[in-house]
């Protein structure tokens, strides 16, 4: 059975070669932006490693007990770990429990596999504990880590892993895949491919999750409103958004997850402003917001737009442990002023 991923054929081929050549590494690190397919690839690899009846080496049947239980994330020799919420924190206790699990002999397969999703959210103690695991892991163990970027991890962890860097797909490539798989119109496929920035997982979520589409419209409307407001009004917006003094840890984690999504949409808008400024208006992602992009690009210099893209990228990477109030205030302070982008 094919791995059924959108793109990343080179990575599928490489991992299949490791299985076929009996050269499976003891640890892999899959990196790339959120929604690019890191977690899906790691789980497909795990499935290929435990399949009892592969159609050929490096593949999986999808029907045997290990395959079915891996798909349901219930296979006894597979452990999947992640922070409780997106933008949360993976703590050292989780890694210590994993160390105990890995010390046990495999129950059904010929190896134990641990998938650590969003490992960039692991705190320093957790990373140090995993480093010890990497150094002392039993022979019949495979660790699969995913992270937005290797730069947020201890260099000693990265050096002990086979690094698989996944990149967004070209918009035309992703658009064609979406049109065929989802049976949608070329225009809708093109819109999804561009808004998602070439990330298959995000494109699929935008298509299937109507709430996410509403969230996108809300974030865009809020950005357009902020562009026409003064600084006190912008700070009032941040106060309403954050509400830190009255929120629980769970609510703060949910806010971080919401901000992570919103920053994706805002970044796509500022990239469109850059494209429009460069005379590449036909390439913009948010084609349903073309009038607003044209208005903003006529008032904002490209250097300012590029700086906002960079600031949003930095803010996303700091969401896990930064003071959200200060982070958002710095962001809205740097937005251009006096732009009426919508009626």
Choice among 46-50, 276-280, 317-321, 336-340 with the minimum mean pLDDT: 317-321
Looking at the structure, tell me whether residues 155 and 78 fall in a common domain.
yes
| Alpha-carbon span 248 to 246, nearest angstrom | 7
Q: What element of type H or E holds 146? A: strand 141-147
Contact by Cβ (8 Å): 219, 266: yes
What is the number of structural domains in the chain? 2
Position 244 scores a pLDDT of 59
Q: Per 3-state DSSP, what percentage of the chain is helix, strand, and coil (rounded to 5)?
A: 60, 10, 35
Distances (CA, A) of 343 to 266, 269, 340: 19, 18, 7
pLDDT band at 247 (very low <50, low <70, confident <90, very high): low
In a domain, 181, yes or no: no
Angle at 220 between CA 219 and CA 221, to 5 degrees: 90
Position 343 scores a pLDDT of 54
Looking at the structure, tell me whether residues 214 and 155 fall in a common domain.
no
Q: What element of type H or E holds 251? A: helix 249-277
In a domain, 249, yes or no: yes
Distances (CA, A) of 60 to 38, 53, 65, 177: 18, 7, 11, 22
Position 245 scores a pLDDT of 53
Boundaries of domain holding 218 = 209-333
Looking at the structure, tell me whether residues 213 and 160 fall in a common domain.
no
Q: Between these two residues, 210 and 173, which has the higher pLDDT value?
A: 173
HSE-CB of 96 using CA atoms within 13 angstroms: 4
pTM beyond 0.85, yes or no: no
Looking at the structure, tell me whether residues 246 and 328 fall in a common domain.
yes
Angle at 34 between CA 245 and CA 316, to 5 degrees: 40
| Alpha-carbon span 146 to 288, nearest angstrom | 33
In tens, the pLDDT along 64-113 reads 999 999 999 999 999 999 987 777 789 999 999 999 999 888 888 889 99
In a domain, 198, yes or no: no
Looking at the structure, tell me whether residues 274 and 144 fall in a common domain.
no
In tens, the pLDDT along 292-320 reads 999 999 999 999 999 999 999 889 878 87
Looking at the structure, tell me whether residues 160 and 213 fall in a common domain.
no
In a domain, 111, yes or no: yes
Looking at the structure, tell me whether residues 161 and 301 fall in a common domain.
no
In a domain, 136, yes or no: yes
In a domain, 267, yes or no: yes
In a domain, 71, yes or no: yes
Distances (CA, A) of 272 to 206, 253, 265, 283, 332: 19, 29, 11, 8, 19
Partners of 146 in the beta sheet?
Answer: 30
In tens, the pLDDT along 35-50 reads 999 999 999 999 999 9
Looking at the structure, tell me whether residues 259 and 142 fall in a common domain.
no
Q: For residue 53, what is the domain's CATH number?
A: 3.40.50.300
pLDDT band at 251 (very low <50, low <70, confident <90, very high): confident
Q: What element of type H or E holds 164? A: strand 162-165
- Non-local (6+) Cβ contacts of 130 within 8 A are 95, 116, 119, 122, 143, 157
Looking at the structure, tell me whether residues 146 and 216 fall in a common domain.
no
pLDDT band at 22 (very low <50, low <70, confident <90, very high): confident
Domain end residue (candidates: 110, 136, 165): 165
| Alpha-carbon span 72 to 53, nearest angstrom | 18
In tens, the pLDDT along 169-185 reads 998 999 999 999 998 88
Domain end residue (candidates: 133, 165, 197): 165
Instruction: Give the N- to C-terminal CA distance of the chain in Å, as an integer.
Output: 52
Q: For the residues 251-274, what does the mean pLDDT come to? A: 89
% of the chain exceeding 90 in pLDDT = 65
Looking at the structure, tell me whether residues 266 and 320 fall in a common domain.
yes
Contact by Cβ (8 Å): 161, 145: yes
| Alpha-carbon span 301 to 152, nearest angstrom | 31
Q: Answer yes or no: is pLDDT of 19 > 60.
A: yes
| Alpha-carbon span 134 to 129, nearest angstrom | 9
């Amino acid at each position: 059975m094919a791995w059924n991923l959108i793109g990343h054929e080179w990575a599928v081929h490489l991992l299949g070669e490791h299985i076929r050549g009996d050269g499976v590494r003891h640890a892999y690190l899959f990196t790339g932006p959120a929604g690019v397919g890191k977690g899906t690839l790691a789980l497909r690899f795990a499935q290929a490693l435990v399949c009892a009846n592969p159609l050929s080496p490096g593949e999986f049947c999808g029907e045997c007990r290990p395959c079915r239980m891996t798909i349901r994330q219930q296979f006894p020799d597979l452990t999947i770990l992640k922070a409780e919420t997106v933008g949360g924190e993976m703590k050292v206790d989780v890694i210590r429990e994993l160390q105990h699990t890995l010390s046990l002999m495999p129950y059904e397969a010929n190896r134990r596999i641990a998938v650590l999703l969003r490992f960039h959210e692991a705190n320093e103690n957790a990373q140090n504990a995993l480093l010890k695991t990497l150094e002392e892991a039993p022979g019949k163990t495979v660790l699969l880590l995913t992270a937005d970027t290797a730069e947020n991890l201890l260099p000693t962890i990265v050096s002990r892993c086979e690094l698989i860097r996944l990149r967004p797909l070209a918009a035309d490539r992703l658009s064609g895949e979406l049109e065929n798989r989802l049976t949608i119109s070329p225009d809708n496929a093109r819109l999804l491919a561009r808004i998602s920035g070439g990330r298959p997982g995000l494109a699929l979520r935008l298509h299937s999750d109507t709430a996410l589409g509403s969230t996108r419209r809300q974030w865009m409307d809020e950005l357009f409103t902020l562009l026409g407001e003064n600084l006190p009004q912008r700070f009032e917006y941040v106060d309403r958004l954050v509400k830190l003094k009255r929120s629980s840890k769970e609510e703060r984690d949910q806010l971080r997850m919401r901000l992570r999504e919103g920053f994706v949409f805002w970044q796509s808008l500022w990239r469109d402003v850059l494209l429009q400024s460069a005379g590449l208006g036909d390439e913009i992602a948010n084609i349903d917001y073309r009038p607003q992009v044209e208005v903003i690009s006529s008032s904002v210099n490209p250097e300012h737009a590029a700086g906002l893209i960079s600031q949003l990228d930095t803010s996303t990477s700091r969401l896990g442990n930064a003071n959200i109030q200060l982070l958002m205030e710095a962001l809205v302070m740097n937005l251009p002023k006096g732009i009426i982008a919508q009626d």
